């Protein structure tokens, strides 16, 4: 999936749709020159959300079942899928503990000078994973976009501009309880994951970017690399629809994989 933060933004946007059965939202991604990259689609209904990427280089589907506490990742390029539940987080934490013990055992068998160098290297890597650089957001103006009054924020990471976001305030929105619960279920899912990752939980918290979502939801996002815009994402269409339950099921003919197999 292209960007976890984008997925969460789209999930939040669905909370603004005052519909009874289900909803569909389309997000257009373009290059800075206006040429198309992809049109991604989000579906929501009955406590479930499906994000479908139509990027030629990223044919993936992610389904969150907030009622049953699970996430399904489907890769249509190699026809595989994996299921991650809250119970898997504990397994993940145990795997991390096992790896750490193996590292400590390996280091203890090295000569003293090499042992000191290896420990210093691993401690530095761990510090970077525990406290990755975060994006700081600075308000730079306001603009009305797609029917919403938006505040424009500039995202800075390690002194470099990485994104611009047009963020609509939560005060403008009226939610149906169902959609609020869906988002809260997703948020709890990722926070549980971060908690169970122990020392590495900072990576997940950083990716979730809770700071910007405390301000509202992004209607438009421009991503930057080396100070230049590289991708623009904007909400294109929102429609009501009574969706088929099959949209939230795993397609036939796919091979199940273990998310921890290559650890």
- Which of 15-29, 33-47, 140-154, 232-246 is predicted with the least confidence, judged by mean pLDDT? 15-29
**pLDDT higher than 50, residue 20:** no
DSSP 165: E
- Listed in sequence order, the residues at least 6 apart from 11 whose beta carbon sits closer than 8 Å to its beta carbon are 42, 44, 49, 51, 64, 182, 183, 186
Calpha distance 146→136 (Å, rounded): 25
What pLDDT shows up at residue 24? Answer: 82
Residue 14: pLDDT band with limits 50, 70, 90:
very low
| CB atoms inside a 10 Å sphere around CB 99 | 11
**pLDDT higher than 90, residue 154:** yes
201-212 confidence digits (pLDDT tens):
555 544 445 567
Average pLDDT (61-67) is: 89
Burial class (CB in 10 A: 0-12, 13-18, 19+), 225: exposed
Q: How many residues does the chain have?
A: 263
**Token couple for 158:** 């390690």
pTM: 0.70
- Which of 21-30, 45-54, 158-167, 171-180 is predicted with the least confidence, judged by mean pLDDT? 171-180
What pLDDT shows up at residue 176? Answer: 45
Domains and CATH numbers, the chain: 4-256 (2.50.20.10)
């Amino acid at each position: 999936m292209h960007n976890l933060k984008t997925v969460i933004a789209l999930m939040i946007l669905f909370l603004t749709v005052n519909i009874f059965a289900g909803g569909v939202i389309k997000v257009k991604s373009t290059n800075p020159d206006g040429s198309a990259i992809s049109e991604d689609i989000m579906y929501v209904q009955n406590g479930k959300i499906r994000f479908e990427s139509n990027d030629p280089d990223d044919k993936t589907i992610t389904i969150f079942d907030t009622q049953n506490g699970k996430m399904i990742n489907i890769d249509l390029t190699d026809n595989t899928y994996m299921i991650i539940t809250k119970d898997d987080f504990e397994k993940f934490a145990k795997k991390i503990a096992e790896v750490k013990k193996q590292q400590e055992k390996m280091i203890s068998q090295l000569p003293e000078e090499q042992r000191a160098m290896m420990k210093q290297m691993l401690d530095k890597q761990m510090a970077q994973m525990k406290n990755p650089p975060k994006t700081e957001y600075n308000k730079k103006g306001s603009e009305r976009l797609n029917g919403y009054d938006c505040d424009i924020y500039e995202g800075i990471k390690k002194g470099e501009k990485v994104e611009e976001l047009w963020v609509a305030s939560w005060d403008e929105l009226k939610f149906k309880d169902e959609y609020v619960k869906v988002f809260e279920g997703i948020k709890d899912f990722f926070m549980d994951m971060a908690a169970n990752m122990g020392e590495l939980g900072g990576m997940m918290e950083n990716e979730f970017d809770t700071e910007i979502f405390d301000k509202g939801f992004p209607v438009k996002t421009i991503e930057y690399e080396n100070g230049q815009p590289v991708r623009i994402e904007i909400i294109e269409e929102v429609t009501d629809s009574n969706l088929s339950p099959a949209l939230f099921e795993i397609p036939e003919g796919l091979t199940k994989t273990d998310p921890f197999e290559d650890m």
